[in-house]
Amino acid sequence: MKNLIYIFSILIILSCSSDPEIDTNLLDSVEILDSSLLNPENYLVSAKYPNPTEEEKNKKVIIAVHGFSASTFEWDELRRFIENRNIDTVLLSQVLLGGHGRSYEEFKASSYEDWQESIKAEYDKLIALGFTDITLVGSSTGCPLILDLLNIKYFGKELKEVFLIDPIIVPSDKMLSIVGVAGPILGYVESDLSEGEEKYWYKYRPYETLKELNSLIIKVRKQLEDNLGIGDVKMTVYKSLKDDAADPVSAVLLYKGIKTNYGKINVEMIDSDLHVFTRLDLRPTVSEKDKSNQFKVFADITNFAYIR
């Protein structure tokens, strides 16, 4: 019996996986980069308007932050929503999180502080350029990254409003809580992507990054337990009722944990089973309800007037 235990232990040690074989058609490869790295002026307001006019400075700038292992693609539909409706009162900055949209190796080596860096960088540039009205929009992991910055009062009075879409505070996959133990054995986790998504999401998630994700959400959850104050900043949380990545109970923790100068934040539970229900491109199936959910939230974010 004793020998069996030793053999089993040695097998566990030997089973520690190395890195995956990466095809060149994947975002994980060095061949495919997020478009914002090649053409930042198409994605970042700070790059598009290096010398903004007074009128441009007073427009509302939306900084859109994508989720874990995703890319700027996650907010492309918001850009199209703004362009197709000629909404000229807002400007959109789609930031690419650090370590994302590059390669598996760069992702593996990145920490959540690295992911956060691009949000800080774009905000700082916009402030330096004189923009006065900033809104943050986050999806999934983008949300705890924003919340962590709100907790340290990183943003100034220019930040007026925050929208969080399917924030991950409690993961749906509870095995994330033992990533420190199981991670070194697994090495990486392969995600199940739909056709076409492999160019915009990392297919392989190194355990090091899952560990970072776990550290981030534990940190933010504790901040929420201790009261996360956001002052006068308006906040709205939208949360799918069923979600295989961010547990719906995440919304409860936000509702209880965020303190403002005006009362409780606004939380809306959305009848959807999609994670990041505002991204419909490349979904295998999209219902009318999904389209209506997306439209409503995009209209709220951009202050687009419509008859409900």
Residues that bind other proteins (CB under 8 A): 2, 5-6, 9, 12-13, 170, 172-178, 184, 214, 218, 224-227, 241-253, 255-257, 267-269, 273
Helices 207-225 and 142-151 cross at an angle (nearest 10°) of 50
Identify whether the C-beta of residue 62 lies closer than 8 Å to the C-beta of residue 92: yes
CA distances from 300 to 77, 112, 163, 236, 278 (A): 14, 29, 9, 10, 12
Question: CB-wise, 46 or 151, nearer to other proteins?
Answer: 151
What is the closest distance, in whole angstroms, from the C-beta atom of residue 247 to other proteins in the complex? Answer: 4
What is the closest distance, in whole angstroms, from the C-beta atom of residue 225 to other proteins in the complex? Answer: 4
What is the closest distance, in whole angstroms, from the C-beta atom of residue 148 to other proteins in the complex? Answer: 16
Q: Which two tokens stand for residue 279?
A: 């991204």
What is the closest distance, in whole angstroms, from the C-beta atom of residue 163 to other proteins in the complex? Answer: 17
What is the closest distance, in whole angstroms, from the C-beta atom of residue 176 to other proteins in the complex? Answer: 7
Q: Which two tokens stand for residue 283?
A: 């979904």
Question: CB-wise, 92 or 179, nearer to other proteins?
Answer: 179
Identify whether the C-beta of residue 83 lies closer than 8 Å to the C-beta of residue 91: no
Question: CB-wise, 29 or 172, nearer to other proteins?
Answer: 172
Question: CB-wise, 41 or 173, nearer to other proteins?
Answer: 173
Identify whether the C-beta of residue 129 lies closer than 8 Å to the C-beta of residue 230: no
What is the closest distance, in whole angstroms, from the C-beta atom of residue 115 to other proteins in the complex? Answer: 20
Question: CB-wise, 218 or 280, nearer to other proteins?
Answer: 218
Q: Rounded to the nearest 5°, which phi and psi values hold at 221? A: -60, -40
Q: How far apart are CA 281 and CA 241, in angstroms?
A: 20
What is the closest distance, in whole angstroms, from the C-beta atom of residue 19 to other proteins in the complex? Answer: 17
CA distances from 56 to 91, 123, 138, 182, 239 (A): 9, 15, 23, 50, 32
Return the residue matching tokens 């520690």: 16
Question: CB-wise, 186 or 267, nearer to other proteins?
Answer: 267
What is the closest distance, in whole angstroms, from the C-beta atom of residue 264 to other proteins in the complex? Answer: 9
Q: What is the DSSP string of 100-158?
A: -SS-HHHHHT--HHHHHHHHHHHHHHHHHHT--EEEEEEETTHHHHHHHHHHTT-S-TT
Question: CB-wise, 141 or 214, nearer to other proteins?
Answer: 214
Question: CB-wise, 162 or 253, nearer to other proteins?
Answer: 253
Q: Rounded to the nearest 5°, which phi and psi values hold at 40? A: -60, -30
